[in-house]
A and B are shown apart, each in its own frame.
Chain A
Amino acid sequence: MADNKTVIIKIKRQANPDSKAYWEEFELPQTPGRNVTSALMEIAVNPVTRDGKKTTPITYDANCLEEVCGSCAMLVNGKARMACSALLEKLDHPVKLEPFSKFPVVRDLAVDRSVLFEDLKRVKAWVPIDGTYDLGPGPRVTMQEQEVAYPLSRCISCCCCMEACPQFNESTDFVGAAAISQVRLFNTHPTGKALKRERLAALMGDGGIQECGYAQNCVEICPKDIPLTRSISEVGREVMKQAIGDLFRR
């Protein structure tokens, strides 16, 4: 504080889903180790813009603050990333914050990402164990299978892969890398693979895996380093096997 250094943060705001977006600028004292989320908290304490105008606190999503809940994704300097792991001192200044561009804005930086939840339901991204009696212990998962499954299971549904994908838009309605990778996860699970056929069939519908253009932004942007392109290739193979097999068998 002694050197009076400050950070300028430009935030794209929007009062409600239907209103027009506008920009506001804030100036905060530079604090070592501060992330974007804590800067937004700081603004909420005293919501005054850089030119002294009193305003409302910024609406944003955040929860765990350690890059595991997936809620705080936004565009930081134009790129999709988690606000909690974006440290102000490591960003280009002034820092520009925008809501995701491909998801409907709820307010300010908060967007509605429920499309991923809908997609996960449509590909049945779960292990089917519901029943009226005890099914007993499941089959053993080998060490090798665990090593493949674990990285896939780290998906936090942040939707960064979808935001950065050139094919994810309202024209293709592409499902995106996250859901495809979850199909791979549950299809390799010894109990989960009971629904393999249905999952693969779902991915052949409009907006399915075929819309992937393999620009590979998903794997570059993923904050959890999930091998998303590998998942798309592996699931692509299973989908083709099923599609071609059905030509002869069904």
Chain B
Amino acid sequence: MGSSAGSAAPAVVKPKIKQGVAPLRAGEGHSFLLRRLHSLTGIVPVGLFLIEHFISNAFAVNGPAAYTKQVEFLTSFPFVVALELFGIWLPILFHSLYGFYIWYRGDSNIGEYPWTGNWMYAAQRWTGAIAFFYMGWHTWHIRFTGVHILSHPASAFGKVQLEFQNTWVAMFYLVGIIAASWHFAYGLWLFAAKWGIVTGDRARRRFGYVCVIIAVVFIAVGMATMRSFFHWPLHPVNGGSS
């Protein structure tokens, strides 16, 4: 009845493809919250802290006395360790570690597509990593070891000066300042673009110039601050029993 012909017909080889990138998982997971939180922590509080840190250190330009006054002001805050922990360390730690996770999941392809935005994408990851390792080392040396600055604000200026006696250390500071400034300025631009604050092509380009200026100002202020630590005579570090 023709059924034999029908059943004998070879089954069409239609490989079911089950590889490749999976479709969107609408309504699933927490990656939206975490990614947006990562984006936000880069501005508040980490970016705000960076601004405060650059301004406070720029008091070094006016000499050890002005610098000590600023350090005394900061260390005089109530709940200062809690402010450090929840306002600085934990947010930076989250931003950094989640940032490494983002980096690990992306596949940079500047070899095939060497365009500006793509280079900036890669640079944002590298500057973030440099800034992270710099900050870890910097915090360890200035905050956690040596003279305790919270209880000896007057020794802060001299402590930084002692650090800079080693040229390599001073170079590392310079690299750290440039990396952090770049990462913050472009991060600001990315925040504005991704959160839809600056959406138009021309507006985004204009804001890009603003961010370049922000980066340049940060780097200039950082370098001027570094210079003043070399400029002023060595300030005594008194971390003894006083």
Please report A residues at the B interface, Cβ cutoff 8 Å: 16-18, 78-79, 102-104, 106, 112, 114-115, 118-119, 122-123, 162, 164, 166-175, 179, 201-217, 220-221, 227, 229-230, 232-241, 243
Contact = CB atoms under 8 A, between A and B. Distances in A.
B141 interface: no
26 contacts: A103-B21, A118-B24, A122-B26, A166-B107, A166-B121, A167-B107, A168-B21, A169-B21, A171-B106, A173-B23, A175-B23, A203-B24, A205-B26, A206-B31, A206-B32, A214-B121, A214-B190, A216-B121, A217-B109, A220-B113, A227-B201, A229-B204, A230-B200, A233-B194, A237-B195, A239-B196
B78 interface: no
Contacts of B26: 122-123, 201-203, 205, 208
Contact of B27 (A78, A119, A201, A241): A201
Contacts of A208: 24, 26, 31-32
Contacts of A123: 24, 26
| 6 closest residue pairs by CB, A with B | A237-B196, A216-B117, A206-B29, A202-B26, A215-B121, A118-B23
Contacts of B113: 79, 164, 217, 220-221
Nearest to A231: B199
Interface in B97-125: 102, 104-109, 112-113, 115-118, 120-121
Contacts of B201: 227, 229-230
Contacts of B194: 212, 214, 232-233, 236
A203 B20 CA distance: 19
